[in-house]
A = this chain, B = another copy of it.
Amino acid sequence: MTFGKQYDEYLSFFEGELKRFCAEMDYRPPVLCESMRYSLLSGGKRVRPVLFFGALAHFGGDYTKEAGLAIALECIHTYSLIHDDLPAMDNDDFRRGNPSNHRVFGEANAILAGDALLSEGMCLLLKEGKKSERHLRAAQYLADAAGAKGMIAGQSADLLYTGKTGGEEELGFIYAHKTGKLITAPIVMAAILCGGDEEKAEKFGEALGTLFQLTDDILDVKGESAKMGKTLGKDREEDKLTCVKVYGMERAELLADRTAANCHAHLRALGGDGFLASLVDLVRTRDN
């Protein structure tokens, strides 16, 4: 199967499961459910669930059995976007081509929608954790990755270094945490569930997370906002610590190429893989 077809297969399976999950959100008050659904169903490339499914297939697992963990992953990712877009945080009016959550539902509802998606993600992890010891360990890995030592530490550092001087070390911390943790998690979770090499999976995930944020920073300067679905040029405007600020565009692009090569090397150590290798190339060459 071609890469594109495989991606679509994973994506359409995930979208179907996610729609089913959202259809069950019919409790009170309606505004809470609506605001959660609005952000969950606003599309996006679903990189993390697709990565999880691709890694499961790589390690010999059956991805159709792990929709619960994939939805938990997307709930947690989506909550982080809603809170990140808030006026007190990055103050973004657009996300995935649509008005951001607080622009539609107001700040208070957006804070609660984020809290609710984080909570529901964690509830799903506890539910999935009941299936087996491996599931509980995979769930714990994701929860830790999203937590105070993980993604949130990265968000906090991102705020801390905005408008300040900072170099390679600080940038590396932001990359590894803000983006890296939730890109690494699906790969390591797949290894845990299938008995794969967790350490090598983690190394591959960390490299891919770095690549993802490098290209994100580069696209904030060079991308087209219509394709990206959000306002661009904001990093420079707000003086964010990005690879473009630290290295300049030319060296940032070289670094992205080197990091992509690094991803492929780590992937070969994991036994190589057609789908995951193409996913690395997609992350490097994407325009959205």
B140:A126 contact, CB within 8 angstroms: yes
- Mark A80-114 against chain B: 1 for CB-CB distance below 8 A, else 0: 00010010110000000000000000111101101
> Which residues on the B side are within 8 Å of A120 (C-beta)?
147-148
With an 8 A cutoff between CB atoms, is A47 at the interface?
no
Q: Could you say which interface size class chain A belongs to?
A: 35 or more
Picked from B31, B33, B86, B136, the residue with its CB within 8 Å of the CB of A160 is: B31
**How many copies, total?**
2
Stretch at the interface among A150-158, A262-270, A280-288: A150-158
> Which residues on the B side are within 8 Å of A86 (C-beta)?
111
* Distance between Cα atoms of A106 and B140 in the complex (Å): 30
| With A111-B88, A136-B130: A147-B119 Cβ-Cβ less than 8 Å | yes
Residue of chain B at shortest CB distance from A117: B148
B29:A156 contact, CB within 8 angstroms: yes
Give the shortest distance, in Å, between A119 (CB) and chain B (any CB): 4
| With A89-B108, A115-B83, A148-B116: A32-B129 Cβ-Cβ less than 8 Å | no
B122:A108 contact, CB within 8 angstroms: no
With an 8 A cutoff between CB atoms, is A123 at the interface?
yes
> Which residues on the B side are within 8 Å of A25 (C-beta)?
148
> Which residues on the B side are within 8 Å of A147 (C-beta)?
116, 119-120, 122-123
B148:A119 contact, CB within 8 angstroms: yes
B152:A115 contact, CB within 8 angstroms: yes
A32:B153 contact, CB within 8 angstroms: yes
With an 8 A cutoff between CB atoms, is A127 at the interface?
yes
- Mark A118-154 against chain B: 1 for CB-CB distance below 8 A, else 0: 1110110111011000001001100110111100110
> Which residues on the B side are within 8 Å of A146 (C-beta)?
119
Most buried by B among A27, A144, A152, A153: A152
Enumerate chain A interface residues (CB-CB to B < 8 A): 25, 27-29, 31-33, 36, 79, 83, 86, 88-89, 106-109, 111-112, 114-120, 122-123, 125-127, 129-130, 136, 139-140, 143-144, 146-149, 152-153, 155-157, 159-160, 173
26 contacts between A and B (CB under 8 A): A25-B148, A28-B157, A29-B156, A29-B157, A32-B148, A32-B153, A36-B148, A79-B115, A83-B111, A86-B111, A88-B88, A88-B108, A88-B111, A112-B152, A115-B118, A115-B152, A117-B148, A118-B118, A118-B119, A122-B125, A122-B143, A125-B126, A126-B143, A129-B129, A129-B136, A130-B140
